[in-house]
Amino acid sequence: MKIKKTKQADKRIFNKWKRGTLLIVTGPQGSGNHLFSRILSLHPDVTGWDSLLEEYWVPSDLEPLAPYWVEPDSLPFNYFGEGGYFLANVSCPFFYDGKRYIPKIKELAERAQLFRLKVVIAIIVRDQNINEQQQLRVRGEVTLPIAQNYYYKNLMDDFEVHYLDYEAFFLHKEHYLKWVGKTLNFPVDYDNKDIMKFITEDSNKKYVNYVEEHWLDKDVWNGIKSKKERGLE
């Protein structure tokens, strides 16, 4: 009887994630949720946010899983189908039908696990100063701490969590995306030409201004002189 129970337990473990992988991409408002959702939806093996493949921006409440970030218990068992890779996206906080919510990422992720889906969570990181300025410009308030508090309290200890770097993408492009695919164990069409379909420049650029002078400049310029010029020989 003990051997039989062990074999049954092993079988349950083997089939635990039989229905596929759900990658949840989330980030503070204005951190690049649309950008990464578009990129990660491009691979033909991924069921993602298809409308973003044709539109630069789509309201958050039209994201396929939008209703379930508010009421995760209503997510049907057969929503994801049988097997494959699935992408979901939500900013924190997000707007649904004109009202701001803290998305119930933890509850939806746990429900997906009950459906035998492996859940991986990727949190987007953007320069905090630029992210704050973007939120002030578009939202009129800084909501970055709301996202951070939610992630720290609800996601970090109970799920497989990774970070997606906004600046790393613009700096390294397909090389970074190739690494992302390997790290997340998730298919990424990293050399697809449509990755840059709506991108003419790094959107951080509009927030960056030239600095005429900084207190450390003289030390830096002195530091690249020869030791003799610096009086060290």
Q: What's the chain's average pLDDT?
A: 91
CA distance 115 to 129: 39
73-128 per-position pLDDT tens digit: 999 988 998 789 999 999 999 999 999 999 999 999 999 999 999 999 999 999 99
15 — pLDDT class (breaks 50, 70, 90): low
Q: Residue 202 burial (CB < 10 Å; 0-12/13-18/19+)? A: middle
Instruction: Pick one of 3.40.50, 2.40.50, 3.10.590, 3.30.1460 as the CATH number of 15-196.
Output: 3.40.50
∠ at Cα 59 (56, 60), nearest 5°?
115
Domain-wise residue ranges, the chain: 15-196
Per-residue pLDDT tens for 29-64? 999 999 999 999 999 999 999 999 999 999 999 999
**pLDDT for 154-209, tens place per residue?**
999 999 999 999 999 999 999 999 999 999 999 999 999 999 999 988 999 999 99
